Amino acid sequence: MAKNDLLGASLWDAYSNKVTTLMNNPKHQGEITEEEAAAHSNRLIVADFGAESCGDAVRLYWEVDPKTDVIVNSKFKSFGCGTAIASSDVMTELCIGKTVQEAVKITNIDVEFALRDNPDTPAVPPQKMHCSVMAYDVIKKAAGLYMGVDSESFEEEIIVCECARVSLKTLQEVIKLNDLTTIEQITDYTKAGGFCKSCIRPGGHEKREYYLVDILRDTRREMDEEKMRAAADAGAKGNFESMTLVQQIKAIDAQIDESVRQFLIMDGGDMEVIDVKSSDDYIDVYIRYLGACNGCASSATGTLYAIESTLKEKLSKKIRVLPI
């Protein structure tokens, strides 16, 4: 089948080679019969799951050794798009050889990651990320049938979007992995917020504990803090002079937060970094004092010396601190 028969070239290129291969040639599509399982003295589990949000459905077959709880064989039938077929095939493969208890820990993130050609490039375009979500639910359903318990008893994740069955952990990982900055991007990648929209922000038809706007804000803040720590660590290792301006400012702020700012705040003041300018001989850090520190006699003597000494020790001996 020619690539352009179904999709434009640019869209087709958004799929990994693994996905495009498994769309047409899945390895584990089919069924396992009661007779086949009984011939091996194993137990057959058949679980169905349908995603109302997109119309896709999957039937999962497990042949389980009752003595060890190991899934010795697994197959699937998928009623949906090519991406759903590829995702179901990989999900099925991930189950084989695991115990039922281990298989329950497989998530849609694991499925999508296994479909990648390389660790840094998503396997599918954003609008198809939801296809791997079915794996999370059908596995839980199969495990519940095998163990004789409600599938919800396996729910260790906090589900934020009930429509697309997207968990808090998944949202945080997808935001970080793809450097997402908007709610629209989150919806493109996960389908969260794409249906009833109650999970986007307060005010929808159903009150929720977690909202996408808050998750995005908190995750982005965490990402920024991680970058600041990384920049500070890099500066401590002697790489400060090779950093970008933004990295230098973040590294300086991180050191100020750790060693100086608390004392300024105790005296009713604070400071901010305005600019960093480098020459062959010096790295000039321009700061502005705030609150009680602005105009304080110590700000031009002892306080300034403390700030400069800290930055020289932690980041670079070429630093000069200049208040403006």
Q: Please report which helix (H) or strand (E) contains residue 60, including its range.
A: strand 57-65
Please write down the HEC assignment for all residues of 135-186: HHHHHHHHHHHHHCCCHHHHCCCCEEECCCCEEHHHHHHHHHHHCCCCHHHH
* Amino acid code (one letter) for 292: A
Distance CA 32, CA 96 (A): 13
213, two tokens: 């706007």
Instruction: At 276, give phi and psi (nearest 5°).
Output: -135, 125
Q: Is 191 helix (H, G, I), strand (E, B) or coil?
A: coil
Residue in 54, 95, 161, 293 annotated catalytic: 54
Catalytic residue check, 54: yes
Q: Is the dihedral of CA 248, 249, 252, 257 positive or negative?
A: negative
Catalytic residue check, 81: no
Residue in 95, 131, 163, 293 annotated catalytic: 131
Compute the chain's Rg from CA coordinates. 27
Active site residues: 54, 131
